[in-house]
A and B are shown apart, each in its own frame.
Chain A
Amino acid sequence: KAGVTQTPRYLIKTRGQQVTLSCSPISGHRSVSWYQQTPGQGLQFLFEYFSETQRNKGNFPGRFSGRQFSNSRSEMNVSTLELGDSALYLCASSLGTYLNYGYTFGSGTRLTVV
Chain B
Amino acid sequence: ELKVEQNPLFLSMQEGKNYTIYCNYSTTSDRLYWYRQDPGKSLESLFVLLSNGAVKQEGRLMASLDTKARLSTLHITAAVHDLSATYFCAVDMRSGSGTYKYIFGTGTRLKVLA
User: Measuring CB to CB, which residues of chain A are less than 8 angstroms from any residue of chain B?
Assistant: 33, 35, 42-43, 45, 48, 55-56, 88, 90, 92, 98, 101-108, 110
Are the C-beta atoms of B107 and A45 separated by less than 8 Å? no
When chains A and B are docked, how far (Å) is the Cα of A42 from the Cα of B5? 12
Shortest Cβ gap from B89 to chain A (Å): 11
CB distance from B91 to the nearest CB of A (A): 11
Q: Which residues of A contact B31 (CB under 8 A)?
A: 101
**Distance in Å: Cβ of B14 to nearest Cβ of chain A:** 26
B48 touches A101 (CB 8 A): yes
A104: chain B residues at CB < 8 Å are 45
Residue among A45, A88, A102 with the most chain B CB within 10 A?
Answer: A102
Partner of A45, one of B35, B48, B102: B102
B45 x A102 contact (CB < 8 A): yes
**Which chain B residues border A90 with CB–CB below 8 Å?**
42-43
Closest B-chain residue to A50, C-beta based? B99
- Chain A positions within 8 Å of B100 at CB level: 98
52-94 of chain B: CB within 8 A of chain A = 88, 92, 94
Other than the given A42-B107, A108-B42, 5 more pairs (CB < 8 A) read A90-B43, A102-B33, A102-B45, A108-B41, A110-B40
Taking CB as reference atom, which chain B residue is nearest A103? B102
Contact A45 B101 (CB under 8 A): yes
Contacts of B92 in A (CB 8 A): 98
B42 engages A106 (CB within 8 Å): yes
Give which listed residue, B40, B44, B45, B94, contacts A98 with CB less than 8 A.
B94
User: Is there an interface contact between B104 and A43, defined as CB atoms closer than 8 Å?
Assistant: yes
**Looking across the interface, which residue of chain B has its beta carbon closest to that of A41?**
B106
From the candidates A45, A48, A107, name the one contacting B42 in the complex (CB within 8 A).
A107
Give the chain A neighbours of B106 by CB distance below 8 A: 42
